[in-house]
Amino acid sequence: MSSGDSLDRRSFLTAAGSAAAAATLAGCSGDGGGGTEGGDGSDGTAGDGGDGGSDQTLVYARGDHPENYDPQQTTSGEVAKVTNQVFDTLIQFAAGSGGQLEEGLATDYSLDGTTASLTLREDVTFHNGEEFTASDFKATWQRFTQSGYQYYLGDETRSGYGPFTLGNWIESVDASQDYELTIELTQRYAPFLRNLAMFAAAVLSEAQIEAMGDNQADLGSEPAGTGPFQFDTLDNPNERIRLTANGDYWGDGPNVGTVIFKTITENSTRVQDVINGASHITDNLDSSGFQRAEESETATLLRKNGINHGYMAMNMARFEPFRDRQVRQAIAHAINTEAIVNQIYQGFATQASQPLPPDVLGHNDDLDPYPTDKDQARSMLEDAGYGDGFEFELATFSNPRGYNPSPVQTANQVKSDLEDIGLTVNINQFSNFGPYLDYTSAGRHDACFLGWYTDNADPDNFMYVLLDPKVEMDAVPDGQDWVSFDTEGYSTLNVSGWANTDYMELVREAQRTYAEGDRETMYEEAAQIAYDESPWVFIDYAETLRAVNEAVVADSYTVSSVGGPYLNTVELQ
């Protein structure tokens, strides 16, 4: 080996040592910065503010950061939190309410037969400067649901809300006048006006849709609506979004100049961030976060009845013993749902008695949760011919969801309760929710945990969507109250296979009935049938919880069980 080579190697080692020293120094400078940063996000050093708000910055902490903010490309509530600030809907849910409707971009609205007529608000402009007119809604509808439209979003891009919210119900839209909108429906459909208030029905700008051309999927990185805040910066690497106040907003507020959505995945860390004052509001609290916020001196816990339902469905299409009503009732009597909501869910949920939560039209006040009575449960099993018990699978997801914050613990409670009446439960635990839905919607479970957050606070959104199989009436054999999952038209949202024709007639009639009193009666009757037949074990209605820092002026932020968050009204000290 030449001496030159040898020298090269020495130089390399020297260089390696120097590089190590340089890297070390860089590490040291990181340390140096540590002591000087206060970490108080409420100062609002960024965000020059819009014309309509002050120069204050509101920080909203959440658990996830999706990267596409097109309301037509998502089913995610995390996306809706942001798009609800940027976009408006024709009709909206009143802030702090349990789903009451109020004027949005439409100042007057009515539904008569199969025609919805709306008068639109004038002098509203989109953030891109375009004036809002009826044709914007027409373009919005076409982009979402009409495959013949030049700017149709595409089957593989649009979310399932396309047909679910608008597509299945709208026959045509007349936007020939700028501020009058006439929508023809395919059938009488009572929840329609509520569908117009859903986040997925947010009104997009026709000019923006046309400007996006063939790149419609890109709208999610630069959404421009008419809402109280404009989309300013999407910072994906740091999982943040910055919105600035819309000075021309037609409604209340905004009262702050900038809103920042930051992401902290860990629940307890997120709550701590609010307690420390680095964030002002956060959501999706688990039991420890709930307690910490409640005990904190710098944060308050806001709670409101949620419009949701966590349940255990018994699949009659697959598991024969569940076809016997007595067996289902016996199981409902054996599972101690009171212990589940009070001990496992730590009291931030209430015991469920029927498919509809209390704040929804048609909730039957005469129904109480099934009392836990294991003796009665055993005797009912005996009467049904299952005195020796049986064994079945209970599928469950693993990660907490709002309506079931501790799925595995809940499954263990169910297993233990049913063991007491001689039933053997094999828990089939799924680590990911996607494959879990895949499994349950294929009807491969004996029993499963699921739940539902309302889209529009309409009873139809629970009663028809989740418990009507949506097959033709004559597809249900006489004397049978279930159908198989491969029946033509079957909706896999009904994971129990339940097909009770009395119930189906009622909820289908209620869907077409506009008189509120009549609808209420029909749903109360349907709720009674569901209670008696017990296709599900009704477990809980979870509360909607928010931790709010003291810097937020009291009552300027209200928790809503559907829609929102309503950040336009928020004021900071």
Work out how close the CB of 417 gets to another protein at its nearest, in angstroms, rounded to a whole number.
28
Pattern 355-394, another protein, x by CB under 8 A: ----------------------------------------
Residue 113 exposed, middle or buried by CB count within 10 Å (0-12, 13-18, 19+):
exposed
State which of residues 242, 328, 378, 519 lies at the interface with another protein (CB under 8 A): 242
For residues 381 and 397, give the distance between their C-alpha atoms in angstroms, rounded to a whole number. Answer: 28
Phi and psi at 27, nearest 5°, equal -60, -40
The binding track of 421-440 with respect to another protein, each residue x by CB under 8 A or -, is: -----------xxxx-xxx-
Dihedral (C-alpha) 315, 318, 320, 321: value to the nearest 10 degrees? -30
Helices within 420-565 (DSSP H only):
433-441, 460-467, 501-512, 516-533
Residues 129-168 that bind another protein (CB under 8 A): 154-164
265 vs 416, beta carbon nearer another protein: 265
Q: Tell which positions 442-471 bind another protein, by CB under 8 A.
A: 455
**Beta strand 447-453 pairing with 308-314:** antiparallel
d(CA 446, CA 393) in angstroms, rounded, equals 5
In the stretch 272-311, what mask flags binding to another protein with x, by CB under 8 A? xx--x-xx--------------------------------
CB 449 within 8 A of CB 411: yes
Q: Does 492 bind another protein (CB under 8 A)?
A: yes
Query: What amino acid is encoded at 544 in this protein?
Result: T
Among 7, 8, 288, 472, binds another protein (CB under 8 A): 8
Checking 339-347 for CB contacts under 8 A at 24+ apart, the result is 339/372, 339/413, 340/410, 340/413, 340/539, 340/540, 341/539, 341/540, 344/405, 344/406, 344/409, 344/410, 344/413, 345/287, 345/405, 345/406, 345/540, 345/542, 346/287, 346/290, 346/291
Residue 260 interacts with another protein (CB under 8 A)? yes
Q: Which of residues 163-222 bind another protein (CB under 8 A)?
A: 163-164, 217-218, 220-221
The closest of 268, 264, 243 to 254, measured between CA atoms, is 243
517 lies in the site for another protein, by CB under 8 A = no
Q: Residue 27 or 148: which CB sits closer to another protein?
A: 27
- Cβ proximity to another protein: between 235 and 382 the closer is 235
Q: What single DSSP character describes residue 404?
A: B
**Among 3, 37, 474, 515, which residue interacts with another protein (rule: CB under 8 A)?**
37
Looking at the Cβ atoms of 157 and 513, the one nearer to another protein is 157
Residue closer to another protein, measured from CB, 195 or 337: 195
Tally of CA atoms within 13 A in the half-sphere of 32 that contains its CB: 6
Choices 3-11, 119-127, 387-395, 502-510; region in contact with another protein by CB under 8 A: 3-11
Q: Which helix (H) or strand (E) holds 60?
A: strand 57-62
Which residues between 74 and 113 bind another protein (CB under 8 A)? 74-75
3-state DSSP call for residue 175? strand
Q: Contact with another protein (CB under 8 A): which of 49, 50, 52, 59?
A: 59
Structure tokens of 88? Answer: 């408006």
Is residue 502 involved in binding another protein (CB under 8 A)?
no
- 55 interacts with another protein by CB under 8 A: no
| 432-267-66 Cα angle (round to 5) | 60
Select the residue interacting with another protein from 7, 11, 18, 23 (CB under 8 A): 23
Interface with another protein, residue 6, by CB under 8 A: no
Distance in angstroms (rounded) separating the CA atoms of residues 341 and 352? 9
Which position among 287, 493, 513, 558 is part of the footprint of another protein (CB under 8 A)? 493
Instruction: Rank residues 159 and 511 by Cβ distance to another protein and give the closer one.
Output: 159
- Which residue number, 269 or 573, has a Cβ lying nearer to another protein? 269
* Contact flag: residue 17 with another protein (CB under 8 A): yes
